[in-house]
Amino acid sequence: PEHKLPRPEGGASPLAIVSQSGAFAVAKFSKLAGLNPRYLISAGNQLDLTVGDYMAYLADDPEIEIVAFYVEGFRPLDGVRWLEAARSAAESGKTVILYRAGRTVAGARASASHTAAVAGDYVVTRELARAAGVIVADTLEDFEDLTRTFCTLRDLPVRGWRLGAVSNAGFERVAIADSLGRFQLAELTRSTRDGLAELLLDDRWFKLSTAFNIELCE
């Protein structure tokens, strides 16, 4: 019902979410505020169509740029079909995201009771998927973040490892700096600093800017 799960405003995003769990699909749909997937597919126990079938179809869909899969288990030989279609999609410029569930003994038992899936070796699945150009999500939170990031920034070219960070607290700036990993903080150009200063000193933003810990470093 609309009062429980409002439909996002605006046009459809070039995104397809395919899940073996209907509840997972609905839960992620509700958290991806602002995104309106063109397809939200629950494959269930794959009694008829398989995740490989969906991957093959979406790989050829010109309106889809990002495909995100939640998979608990592949039907016999369907993993090969899925990988071939995923590789084709990645080579054509599409982004394929995979969260592979059923990684542990307990998880495999749970997936078997859930969708009758027999979980295979997760490490094998992960490495084969990465070799095919698939973005593998390590956690459910990563799955959500990756889906949102690739949808939101799909038109922006990535040219390096530099980041710009915005925070309203000093400790958060320290936490950001300590969590950069391979990234580096970008040095803002004079024009960028001047533009930010002009924005923040605007009457509409002045009260907001003075309420936060905002610094424009020389």
Q: Model confidence over 161-215: pLDDT tens digits? A: 888 887 887 888 888 888 888 888 888 889 988 888 888 777 665 555 554 444 4
Q: Check whether 216 has a pLDDT greater than 50.
A: no
Structure token pair of residue 45: 């126990």
- The model carries a pTM of 0.70
For 92-124, letters b (16+ CB in 10 Å) and e give: eebbbbbbbbbbeeeebebbeebbebebeebee
Q: Model confidence over 129-172: pLDDT tens digits? A: 999 999 999 998 999 999 998 988 888 877 888 888 878 878 88
Residue 204 pLDDT: 61
Sheet strand arrangement including 13-19: 37-42, 13-19, 66-71, 95-100, 135-136
Report helix, strand or coil for 218.
coil
For residue 195, what is the enclosing H or E element? Answer: helix 190-200
3-state helix, strand, coil in the chain (%, to 5): 45, 15, 40
List the beta strands (DSSP E) in the chain: 13-19, 37-42, 66-71, 95-100, 135-136, 162-163, 184-185
Alpha-carbon torsion 85, 91, 94, 96, what sign? positive
Q: Long-range contacts of range 88-91, CB-CB < 8 Å, 24 or more positions apart?
A: 88/59, 89/55, 89/58, 89/59, 90/132, 90/133, 90/134, 91/133
